[in-house]
Structure 1
Amino acid sequence: MSQTQSPVSPGSTEQVLEVELNALGQLQNGCAATFVLTNRLGAPIRKVSYELAFFNDKNVVDKITTIDFGEIPQDKTRVRKFNLPNVTCAGVKRIVVNDAPACDGPSARACLDMLRTRSQVSVPFEG
C-alpha cells in the first residue's frame, strides 16, 4: 500500500490498519517522527511493531529500526511519537515498512496484510 491511497472514511466497513506519517521534526541529536494509527480491523491489537527502513537522497537505506507502537484498541486512533537518534530529518527522503515483527491482533499477518499507509509530510511513507 502507498501513501497515495485515500483514507478510509469513518463509516466505512473496509477492514484496515491505517498508519500515517504525520510529522518529522528535527531534534538536537536526531529526528522525531510522529505517527497516527487508526485500527479499523474489527478487533483490538494488543501489540504491533514495525520494522522501518529510512532512505536517503541517493535511495540508499541509512537506517533500519523497529518501532513498538503498542496497543491500538478497535475503532480507535492513537498518536505515537518516536525519537530517532543520529537521524537528520532533512536527510530522510522515504520511509518503508519492511516487516511487522510483532502483531498480536486478529491474525498474525493482519498488521501487514491490512496495512494502509499515507504521509502528511513531503516524505513518502510506504507499506
Structure 2
Amino acid sequence: MSKFKSVRAAVILAACLSAAPALAQEAPGAHISIELNAVEPVEDACRISFLVQNGHGHDIGQAVYEAVLFDTQGRVNRLTLFDFGALPAARPRVRQFVVPGLACASLGSLLINGAETCAGDNLPAGACSDGLALNSRTDVEVLG
C-alpha cells in the first residue's frame, strides 16, 4: 500500500470514529410511525384509535399533530389537533380521540397535515415530521 493510500485510509477511519457517538444517538432513518388502528362509533361521536411508535433514540415529551378529516366524498369535514402526549423512545403507545358529531361511516380519509408541537430533549430538527410513516388498518385512508 502506498504512503498516500495509508494516510487517506487513516483519515477516513478517524472521521468515521469521530462520527460514531453522533450516530449512536440517532439511528439513520429514525422516525415516528402512526397507524390508524380502529374507528368505532360511540354515541354521537367517532372514537379514533392510533398505534404510535417513536423510533428515535430520545423520548418525545409532547407530540401534537394537525389533522384534516375528509368525508367519503373527499370534502373537508374538519381540521383538528391530535395531542399524542409523551412518546417514549422505542415503545409503542395507543392513543384514542373521540371526535364529537362525526359519524365513523362518513370518515373517508385522514390527512396528517404536520406536527404542531414536537417537544423533547436532544431531538433532531424535524423529529416528528421527517420520515413520518403512516398507515391504516381500517377502510379510512391515512395521508401525509
How many residues get paired?
A: 116
Q: Within 1, Cα distance between the matches of 2:109 and 2:52?
A: 19
Q: Which has the higher contact order (CA 8 A, sep 6+)?
A: 1
Root-mean-square deviation over aligned CA pairs: 1.5
More helix by share: 2
| Aligned partner letter, 2:116 | P
Matched, 1:54 2:31: no
Matched, 1:110 2:127: yes
Identity among equivalent positions (%) equals 32
Matched, 1:121 2:138: yes
Matched, 1:95 2:110: yes
For residues 2-33 of structure 1, the C-alpha deviation after alignment (integer angstroms, 9 at most, x for no partner) is xxxxxxxxxx9641211000000011111000
The alignment's TM-score, normalised by the length of structure 1, stands at 0.86
Runs of 4+ in 1 over 6 A off after TM superposition: none
How many Å apart are 1:108 and its aligned residue? 4.4
More strand by share: 1
Q: Within 2, Cα distance between the matches of 1:50 and 1:71?
A: 13
Gaps of 5+ in 2: 1-26
Q: Tell me the secondary structure at the aligned position of residue 112 of structure 1.
A: coil
The alignment's TM-score, normalised by the length of structure 2, stands at 0.76
